[in-house]
Structure 1
Amino acid sequence: MSDRFQQMRAFVQVVDSGSFVAAAEALDSSKAAVSRQVAELEARLGVRLLHRTTRRLSLTADGERFHARCRTLLAELDAAEAELSAHHGKAMGVLRVSVPVSYGLCRLAPLWPRFAALHPQVQLEVTLSDLFADLAHEGLDLAIRISHQPGPHLIARRLGQARMRLCASPAYLARAGTPASPVELPHHRLLGHLVGAARDEWVFRRQEARAAPLTVRVAPAFRSNNGDTCVAMAVAGEGILYEPDFIVERALQAGTLVPLCADDTHHMLGIDAVYASRRHLAPKVRLLIDFLATELGGEALPPMV
């Protein structure tokens, strides 16, 4: 039975990694061993699971069906092992997490070694991406999202908030003038995102009691799917940007960017840990959520009953 599961893990990893070489690295094995396990799996089943060419791998129709079932079975096996180990004070198994690039580098990167030291039998796999990953399709246990709404059909646990900051370089302001209010922004050169809620509208919260949010329609002259790239453009004097505080804080501290429109309380975004279901939540996932909530000042999960 153990050989059967090893073959299934090898097959799933090859598909997920896109090559036998990458799968071997992920499994800490050799390309020959992984290739042999997949070949043995196909021979035992009597079907071809993969189309192999010199340039790429692709799933056969049988391979697509079997890949989905293998993922489910292996996830259940990992969850069962983790749940059993939790009763003995341990967490174990692979823990796959997706985090936004800039937040992952600025805030989360220093935390991973501490979590790993606390739970040495948990194998962290952290993917940095600013795209909203499909947790089930990509085999993820957890994702960190910074947004107005973390997404439907997901369970969200608040870890903190990020304050949006409007800023520009002294050189740009000396050349183009300083906007007195966000309503003047359409008359300036703006730097913005390619995707997301802030693509075409920037929202500001006014300090006046009960004042409605101020929404400004924008048409940035430069767009990127990464906030650090926008910061680099702003520091070079290329325009005004509206980014979360953790992205611009270093430039603000260094004086290469300066804050704008101080009379406006800038919009807050939620920082959430999201996962697919409350049922059968693996102990390793619960432990990571509680750890991040403690470190980031957010909400821990209620105790298990």
Structure 2
Amino acid sequence: MDRFLEMQSFNAVVEAGSFVGAADMLGLSKAAVSRHVVELENRLGIRLLHRTTRRLSLTPEGRVFHARSKDLLAELDDAEAEVTSRRETVSGVLRINAPFTFGILHLAPLWGLFRAQHPHVTLEVTLADRLVDLVEEGYDLAIRIAALENSSLVSRRLASTRMTLCASPRYLQQHGTPRHPADLAAHQVVAYSHFATRDEWHFKGPDGPVSVRTRPWMHTNNGETCRAAALAHQGVILQPGFLVGQDLAAGTLVELMPEYRSTELGIYAVYPTRKNLSAKVRLLIDFLAAHFAARGGAPDAAQGS
């Protein structure tokens, strides 16, 4: 028996919740799907599914096998689609969403390069810091910078960036330099509105995790506004390295308490589904991944590039 067909039938049953639904998905008879799953269980010598007249459920071994075999099937789909896309001339509209500042600093210079490689693709790029609904709003791909939680979306990690605590030298001369996160409660702070923890900032220090509730004098939903306020000596900010890396290198901003590390965020390409992923989306993801890999996976070092 074809091991691929066994795995495909088993995964279809799990996803559809029934043998009838799996048969419809695969274009096979219910009897054929059932036979494939039974032969898979016999070959492995393990029951993967609990079957009753009312419902199906995975055994513990079935959950493990489902997770691993689902990934294997997805990798096979990816390999086939990648090979196919290399011989296709891709065309059409590609709708992309990205965070505002990251989109300007690190993505805007890339669109022309991608266009030069794929001249028949038309790009529609929208910049917004809010979390868009890819399916409802019709986006093919979004760039998200986050500690990405589990979701129904599919993602590929492109790079990472570290949240960096910093302020200008003049601000520190006037207000003193904080030595411990607790000191931030007494400092002027400019805060980013979309932080998941709002005004409570978390760090990992020499003695373990530590957090402090800051008292911002200003909130803003734009990281560039935070940066501008810090450069104007208006307070302490916590912003990603891709935004403040050049300022730190120039000395116009100073990193504070480097022994207390804040969150490292992943930079992801996010898309609604792996199944039937279009060639133009796949090519863009590969293009972006190659670009950031060439910079060591950290756009912080690519500031202004």
TM-score band, normalised by shorter chain: 0.5 to 0.7
In structure 2, what is the equivalent of residue 266 of structure 1? 262
Q: Which runs of 4+ in 1 moved over 6 A?
A: none
- Spell out the pairing of 1:159-238 with structure 2 (5 A cutoff): 159-206=158-205, 208=206, 212-238=208-234
**Counterpart in 1 of 2:290?**
294
Provide the secondary structure at the position in 2 that maps to 1:130.
Answer: coil
Question: In the alignment, is residue 145 of structure 1 matched against residue 144 of structure 2?
Answer: yes
Q: How far apart are residue 287 of structure 1 and its match?
A: 0.7
How far apart are the structure 1 equivalents of 2:202 and 2:102? 21
1:120 aligns with 2:134: no
Q: Distance in 2 between matches of 1:247 and 1:261?
A: 18
SS at match of 1:137: helix
**Structure 2 spans left out of the alignment, 5+ residues:** 1-80, 298-305
Q: In 2, Cα distance between the equivalents of 1:213 and 1:222?
A: 26
What TM-score does the superposition give when structure 2 sets the normalisation length? 0.66
RMSD between superposed Cα atoms in Å: 2.0
**TM-score for both structures, normalised by structure 1:** 0.66
Unaligned 5+ segments in structure 1 are 1-81, 299-305
| Superposed displacement of residue 198, structure 1 | 4.6
Q: 1:250 aligns with which of 225, 246, 249?
A: 246
Going from structure 1 to structure 2, the CA distance change for 1:151 and 1:226 (only over 3 Å counts) comes to farther
Question: CA shift at 1:135, angstroms?
Answer: 0.5
The separation in 2 between residues aligned to 1:235 and 1:156, in whole angstroms, is 34
Identity of paired residues, percent? Answer: 47
Aligned to 2:274: 278
**1:158–1:270 contact (8 Å) kept in structure 2:** yes
CA distance in 2, matches of 1:221, 1:90: 53
Query: Which residue in the other structure is 1:61 paired with?
Result: none
Q: Which has the larger radius of gyration?
A: 2
CA contact 1:150–1:156 (8 Å) conserved in 2: no
Size of the aligned set, in residue pairs, is 213
Distance 1:200 1:118 in 2: 44
C-alpha deviation, 1:87, in angstroms: 7.1
Shift of 1:172: 1.1
2:260 counterpart letter in structure 1: D
| AA matched with 2:226 | C
Instruction: Provide the secondary structure at the position in 1 that maps to 2:261.
Output: strand
Q: Which amino acid aligns with 1:239?
A: G
CA offset digits 1:78-116 (Å, max 9, x no partner) = xxxx99x94742211100000111111111111111111
Give, as a single letter, the amino acid of the residue that structure 1 aligns with 2:238.
Answer: Y
Q: Does 1:110 align with 2:109?
A: yes
> Aligned letter for 2:192?
H
